[in-house]
Homo-oligomer: A and B are copies of this chain.
């Protein structure tokens, strides 16, 4: 419950200390946090710092702040699983796998829709950018790590090519989940899979260039379903 190493801002450290206790269950559901001044004494920081930390906890849904009444610990049902700081902590404590299936569902939904819209709306510039990426994917000199980067960029470009600003906004909200997931399971890009994957990307690009939305969606669906298998998706329900 005390601050660990002096690494960053004070309120970040307070946040992490309290968040850890909540995530691990050391601070149980509906427990009332000590009042600001008490926490200030414990961590030996000003009340300003405590308030910023608590604000971050509330923003992540970890606590519920009630004016005049106190601050209470929320159950995991209230957590905001898109909150970057919370995701980081869940990633660090290795308790993030429970989100894999959820993420795959949403990713499929996202990518397929974006592929369809991109086929309908992609501009010449969008297509040119996609072509550059696919060209580099085909290059045998591209390393495995680079390939993963290109893969991410390709899909990001497709979302952009959908020219739907809410879609891109939501995609941006998902960046935290995606990145934590990536770190949790470092993807193995073996040679065979890479060849198949590159062919898929090429087909996707062709479909978009030709404006064939149905085909783009079908190819994307096959593509992400392939990725799901490679992530050894655990069976549902």
> Which residues in chain A, 94-115, are within 8 Å of chain B measured between CB atoms?
99, 102-103, 105-106, 109-110, 113
Task: Please measure, in the bound complex, the distance between the C-alpha atom of A102 and the C-alpha atom of B164, giving whole angstroms.
Answer: 5
Task: Please measure, in the bound complex, the distance between the C-alpha atom of A14 and the C-alpha atom of B189, giving whole angstroms.
Answer: 51
A202 to chain B, nearest CB (A): 25
- Given contacts A105-B113, A109-B113, A237-B121, A170 and B174 within 8 Å (CB-CB): yes
- Cβ–Cβ < 8 Å partners of A99 in chain B: 165-166
Contact present for B120 and A169 (CB under 8 Å): no
Residue A62 lies at the interface, judged by CB distance under 8 Å to chain B:
no
- Given contacts A121-B237, A236-B120, A237-B121, A169 and B80 within 8 Å (CB-CB): yes
Residue A224 lies at the interface, judged by CB distance under 8 Å to chain B:
no
Q: Could you say which of A113, A170, A174 has the most chain B C-beta atoms within 10 Å of its C-beta?
A: A170
- Cβ–Cβ < 8 Å partners of A173 in chain B: 82, 169-170, 173
Contact present for B177 and A102 (CB under 8 Å): no
Interface string of A153-167 (1 = CB under 8 A from B): 000000000101111
> Which residues in chain A, 7-60, are within 8 Å of chain B measured between CB atoms?
none
Residue A81 lies at the interface, judged by CB distance under 8 Å to chain B:
yes
> Which residues in chain A, 205-237, are within 8 Å of chain B measured between CB atoms?
236-237
Task: Report A's interface with B, CB cutoff 8 A.
Answer: 80-82, 99, 102-103, 105-106, 109-110, 113, 117, 120-121, 162, 164-167, 169-170, 172-174, 177, 236-237
9 further contact pairs, Cβ within 8 A, besides A81-B165, A82-B166, A82-B173:
A80-B169, A81-B169, A82-B170, A105-B113, A105-B162, A105-B166, A105-B167, A106-B170, A121-B237
7 tightest A-B CB contacts, nearest first: A109-B113, A82-B169, A102-B166, A102-B164, A106-B166, A81-B165, A81-B169
Sample of 29 A–B contacts (CB below 8 Å): A80-B172, A81-B166, A82-B166, A82-B169, A82-B170, A99-B166, A102-B165, A102-B167, A103-B166, A105-B113, A105-B117, A105-B162, A105-B164, A105-B166, A105-B167, A106-B113, A106-B164, A106-B166, A109-B110, A109-B113, A120-B236, A120-B237, A121-B236, A121-B237, A166-B177, A169-B173, A170-B170, A170-B173, A170-B174
